[in-house]
Structure 1
Amino acid sequence: MRRHPTGLALCALLAVWLLSGVRADEPVVRDEAVLARQATMKSAKAALAVLAEMSALRRNFDRAAARAARARLQEALADLPDRFEQPYSDRHTRARPEIWENWPAFLRSAETAQEAARGLRTSSLPALRRSLPAMMSACLACHSRYRTER
């Protein structure tokens, strides 16, 4: 069987592209400040996921685990302004330039999220369910304004 040279070239180019491409779950840069920013956002997301899973009954409510998740979330959100203070952008970033173009507005959004995290109630499932929507709303509002879609 004879192989078409164009087909072989396309396969070779595809293989090179797939093997050399940046994976979405790998750090895009080696800059310590950027890696810290990514780690902070991943930590906040993981903590919020625990609380959301409990609220949705996909995970049993556990007061100690809920409090630990709230503490991790509060810690991550407290670090947020410091993590975003220095502008950084590359072809893989999801941060919009509006963060740095209107820094005071971004700081207000960060403070709103911090207040919502302090307002999370983890003493019981009903308390968590009442307080979690404010946290989710703060996250979504900030992301809709300062984060690009993929």
Structure 2
Amino acid sequence: MRRHLVELAICALLAAWLLSGVRADEPVVRDEAVLARQATMKSAKAALAVLGEMSALRRHFDRAAARAARARLLEALSDLPDRFEQPYFDRHTRARPEIWGNWPAFLRSAEAARQAARGLRTNNLPALRRSLPAVMSACLACHSRYRTGQ
């Protein structure tokens, strides 16, 4: 029963995160490094949206689509260290300076998310439901530490 409640709570956090989206009043960023960073995070978010919708039964479970989403997520998470290697500070960034102030800790967080995504099981719906909370937990932990404006 407790595990079920934890899974529901994580799915609720996922839904809130996915629905947060980009606000209309956000400025347009023209820096190539930032655009690449944003594209990587949007790719991860889109992959998680597919998996989260399947897990929450808002989308029919499709093994091939789940595997494709997992592959996109792994690709995005593998690119994270490269995307954040160069500090970029402007008044609109949501990346906290702690990323670059403690680069080794950020790399450990990025690796934890990648390892959780590797453990994501897309064979069937019960396996997805069991393994998705670890991925969401790793992503949310990194965002809560290194991102402003959740």
Name the counterpart of 1:32.
32
* Structure 2 counterpart of 1:56, one-letter code: A
Secondary structure (helix, strand or coil) at the match of 1:43 reads helix
Rounded Cα–Cα distance in structure 1 between residues aligned with 2:65 and 2:89 = 35
Cα displacement (A) at 1:44: 0.3
1:98 shift after superposition = 0.2
DSSP-derived class of the 1:57 partner: coil
Q: Within 5 Å, which residues of 2 pair with 1:99-118?
A: 99-118=99-118
**Identical amino acids, percent of aligned pairs:** 85
Equivalent residue runs for 1:6-25 within 5 Å: 23-24=25-26
Q: What is the one-letter code of the residue matched to 1:47?
A: A
Segments of 5+ residues of structure 2 without an aligned counterpart are 1-23
Q: 1:27 Cα shift? A: 3.4
Name the aligned partner's letter for residue 90 of structure 2.
D
1:55 CA drift (Å): 0.2
Counterparts of residues 49-88 of structure 1 (less than 5 Å): 49-88=49-88
Displacement of 1:23: 3.7
8 Å CA contact retained: 1:27, 1:35: no
Equivalent position of 2:8 in the other structure: none
Distance 1:95 1:111 in 2: 18
1:122 alignment partner AA: T
Deviation, structure 1 residue 33: 1.3
Please say if residues 116 and 135 of structure 1, whose CA atoms lie closer than 8 Å, have aligned partners that are also in contact: yes
CA distance in 2, matches of 1:94, 1:126: 35
- The residue that corresponds to 2:14 in the other structure is none
User: How many residues are paired up?
Assistant: 127
Quick check: which has more Rg, 1 or 2? Answer: 1
* Corresponding residue for residue 16 of structure 2: none
- Report the AA paired with residue 27 of structure 1: V
CA distance in 1, matches of 2:138, 2:57: 22
Distance 2:97 2:129 in 1: 34
| 1:123 alignment counterpart | 123
With structure 2 as the length reference, what TM-score do the two structures score? 0.82
What is the one-letter code of the residue matched to 1:80?
Answer: L
* 1:91 Cα deviation after fit: 1.2
User: CA 1:91–1:101 in structure 2 vs 1: closer, same or farther (change >3 Å)?
Assistant: same
Provide runs of 4+ in structure 1 moved above 3 Å: none
Which position in structure 2 is the counterpart of 1:14?
A: none
Q: Secondary structure at the match of 1:68?
A: helix
Q: Deviation string for 1:34-80 (max 9, x for gaps)?
A: 11001000000000010000000000000000000000000000000
Pairwise CA RMSD: 1.2
